[in-house]
Structure 1
Amino acid sequence: MSTEIPPPEVIYVEGHKVACNGGGGALGHPLVYLELGASGEVECGYCDRKFVHKDHAHDYADPSPRPEGAH
């Protein structure tokens, strides 16, 4: 039985290169630059944020959907 842990946050982007610092502040991590592959997504190795290109957004099902208006 596979128990895949969902990423803590999914961020939809327009470009194919992204920068991640874990959200900054005391809980952040060093700034890293990531490139989205052919799949149109990439996960940060530090904080596990997942970046998904907006053109691939329809291919990605959020494993933890939130109700409309919830932040």
Structure 2
Amino acid sequence: MEPVETKEVDSTRIACDGDGGALGHPRIYLNMGEKSEIDCPYCGRRYVLKAGAAAHAH
């Protein structure tokens, strides 16, 4: 299944709320770990790590 939308990000940690305000979904935090992409289980948006971006530091 293809993602609804794909967004490039600078970090392996992402917050997603569906960008719909009241029509969105609860804010969840996604962690790619060692992967370079992750899909939101609520809205299906795919987050892809930009080339050259490093893992999130504390």
- TM value normalised by structure 2: 0.79
Q: What residue in structure 1 maps to residue 15 of structure 2?
A: 19
Q: What residue in structure 2 maps to residue 65 of structure 1?
A: none
**AA at the equivalent of 2:12:** H
Q: What residue in structure 2 maps to residue 28 of structure 1?
A: 24
Which of 40, 43, 66 does residue 39 from structure 2 map onto? 43
Q: CA RMSD in A?
A: 1.5
Which consecutive unaligned segments of at least 5 residues does structure 2 have? 53-58
Cα deviation 1:4-37 (Å, max 9, x = unaligned) = x210000100011000000132320000000113
Report 1 or 2 for greater relative contact order, CA contacts < 8 Å, sequence distance ≥ 6. Answer: 2
Q: Percent identity?
A: 44
User: Larger % of strand: which?
Assistant: 2
Q: What residue in structure 2 maps to residue 59 of structure 1?
A: none
- TM value normalised by structure 1: 0.66
